[in-house]
């Protein structure tokens, strides 16, 4: 199967280089030979994955040199106030760590995305919320939502560059929606990086990047995955089915099977029973998830592309607008 490039990957921990290096030994080899350092920790319920890409590691991982921090709460839902508060604290700590050597006296906060499309509205609507915050952050920040090229006819980066040239900020913060390669991570993950952002890259509509190189000042991107591609959903469903059947085979007629009353929940640790499933599904049971995803991407080439978002995206959006506006206010006010 040829190496087919359907779209770029927004989240650094969904790159092939990351996926193929899970153990400590593999990651040590990755760091020494390719200049990519990966660290995983937990803060309460928040999984924190820090990936530092050196100049040497850029080509290997397909991401720019810099620091990428991915924060995930696998059990999060938009009504979990306690979980959202823990998530918020972790995001603030990450921003503080990432910018401990930088001045925050004049910050330009940009909300990227289309205000009229709900999954893409997290940036503009966070800006609206910030306009209603206390005067302290407005005194120290310029807050702006430039819209998208389809609305304005101009590249978003040109708007941001014009503002940056005029007000000369010490830092630009860009808030945007992302795409993910895992339906389980929809709206449960935030990525923060000091490498900037290329709007639309994850959905195959890449625009000019907003970064230190193009803006003339540091750019930090805060991204929230709100959509997943159609082939990803198919791949996830098949992977879940394989794990479900494997779990049934493993459990057999054990007492726990008779007591089970809830729907099956996928578990990363569940092993697919390859030998048992091959007579039913054939050799492709032995393929890893990334190979199956690539197959569906190839098969669906030329078809109308579908991006899917959770049915309760309005609730997720409301939760994140409040959280991200609070993050910016608290972090910048206390800097």
Q: Are residues 67 and 196 in the same domain?
A: yes
Q: Are residues 145 and 269 in the same domain?
A: no
**CA–CA separation, 57 and 217 (whole Å):** 23
Average pLDDT over residues 66-78: 94
Using the predicted structure, report yes or no on whether residue 264 has a pLDDT greater than 60.
no
Using the predicted structure, report yes or no on whether residue 335 has a pLDDT greater than 90.
no
**52-57 CB contacts, 8 Å cutoff, 24+ apart:** 53/12
Q: What pLDDT, on the 0 to 100 scale, is given for residue 305?
A: 74
Contacts of 44 by beta carbon, 8 Å cutoff, 6+ apart: 86, 90
Using the predicted structure, report yes or no on whether residue 254 has a pLDDT greater than 70.
no
Using the predicted structure, report yes or no on whether residue 242 has a pLDDT greater than 80.
yes
**Position 108 in a domain:** yes
Q: Are residues 214 and 245 in the same domain?
A: no
Q: Are residues 137 and 280 in the same domain?
A: no
Q: Are residues 168 and 269 in the same domain?
A: no
- Domain carrying residue 251: 232-308
State percent of the chain over pLDDT 70: 81
Number of other CB atoms surrounding residue 35 within 10 Å: 18
**Position 176 in a domain:** yes
State the SS3 of 113-143.
CCCCCHHHCHHHHHHHHHHCCCHHHHHHEEE
**Position 204 in a domain:** yes
- What would the pLDDT profile of 140-160 be if each residue is shown by its tens digit? 889 999 888 777 778 888 889
Q: Are residues 188 and 220 in the same domain?
A: yes
pLDDT band with cut points at 50, 70 and 90 for residue 132: confident
pLDDT band with cut points at 50, 70 and 90 for residue 13: confident
**Nearest 5°: CA angle at 84, between 50 and 144?**
80
- What would the pLDDT profile of 207-229 be if each residue is shown by its tens digit? 688 999 999 999 999 999 999 88
Q: What is the count of structural domains for the chain? A: 2
- CATH number of the domain at 326, please: 3.40.50.1450
Q: What pLDDT, on the 0 to 100 scale, is given for residue 199?
A: 74
Closest C-alpha among 44, 40, 2, 43 to residue 18: 40
Mean pLDDT over the full length of the chain: 83
- What would the pLDDT profile of 311-329 be if each residue is shown by its tens digit? 999 999 999 999 999 999 9
- Of the two residues 62 and 187, the one the predictor is more confident about is 187
State the SS3 of 239-282.
HHHHHHHHHHHHHCCCHHHHHCCCCCCCCCCCCCCHHHHHHHHC
**Position 4 in a domain:** no
- What would the pLDDT profile of 163-208 be if each residue is shown by its tens digit? 999 999 999 999 999 988 888 889 999 999 999 998 765 455 556 8
Contacts of 166 by beta carbon, 8 Å cutoff, 6+ apart: none
Q: Are residues 105 and 160 in the same domain?
A: yes
Q: Are residues 109 and 152 in the same domain?
A: yes
Q: Are residues 302 and 215 in the same domain?
A: no
- Of the two residues 326 and 303, the one the predictor is more confident about is 326
Q: What pLDDT, on the 0 to 100 scale, is given for residue 244?
A: 85
Q: Are residues 185 and 76 in the same domain?
A: yes
- Mark residue 204 as left, alpha or beta (left: phi above 0; alpha: psi -120 to 50; beta: remaining): left
The whole-model pTM stands at 0.84
Closest C-alpha among 196, 175, 197, 172 to residue 104: 172
């Amino acid at each position: 199967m040829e190496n087919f490039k359907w779209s770029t990957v927004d989240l650094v921990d969904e790159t092939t280089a990351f996926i193929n290096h899970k153990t400590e030994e593999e990651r040590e080899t990755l760091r020494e030979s390719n200049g990519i350092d990966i660290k995983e920790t937990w803060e309460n319920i928040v999984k924190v994955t820090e990936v530092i890409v050196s100049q040497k590691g850029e080509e290997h991982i397909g991401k720019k040199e810099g620091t990428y921090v991915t924060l995930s709460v696998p059990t999060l839902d938009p009504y979990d106030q306690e979980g959202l508060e823990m998530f918020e604290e972790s995001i603030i700590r990450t921003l503080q760590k990432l910018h401990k050597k930088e001045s925050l006296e004049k910050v330009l906060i940009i909300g990227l995305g289309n205000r009229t499309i709900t999954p893409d509205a997290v940036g503009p609507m966070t800006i609206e919320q910030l306009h209603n915050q206390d005067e302290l952050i407005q005194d120290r920040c310029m807050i702006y939502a430039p819209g998208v090229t389809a609305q304005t006819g101009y590249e978003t980066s040109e708007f941001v560059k014009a503002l940056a040239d005029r007000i000369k900020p010490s830092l630009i913060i860009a808030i945007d929606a992302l795409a993910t390669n895992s339906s389980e991570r929809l709206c449960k993950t935030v990525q923060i990086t000091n490498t900037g952002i290329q709007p639309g890259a994850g959905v195959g509509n890449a625009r000019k990047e907003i970064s230190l190189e193009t803006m003339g000042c540091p750019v930090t991107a805060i991204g929230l995955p709100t959509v997943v591609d159609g082939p990803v959903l198919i791949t996830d469903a098949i992977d879940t089915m394989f794990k479900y059947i494997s779990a049934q085979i493993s459990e057999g007629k054990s007492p726990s099977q008779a007591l089970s009353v809830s729907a099956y929940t996928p578990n990363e640790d569940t092993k697919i029973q390859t030998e048992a499933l091959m007579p039913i599904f054939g050799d492709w049971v032995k393929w890893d998830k990334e190979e199956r995803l690539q197959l569906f991407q190839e098969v669906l080439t030329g078809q109308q592309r579908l991006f899917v978002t959770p049915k309760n995206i309005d609730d997720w959006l409301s939760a994140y607008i409040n959280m991200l506006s609070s993050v910016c206010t608290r972090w910048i006010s206390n800097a």
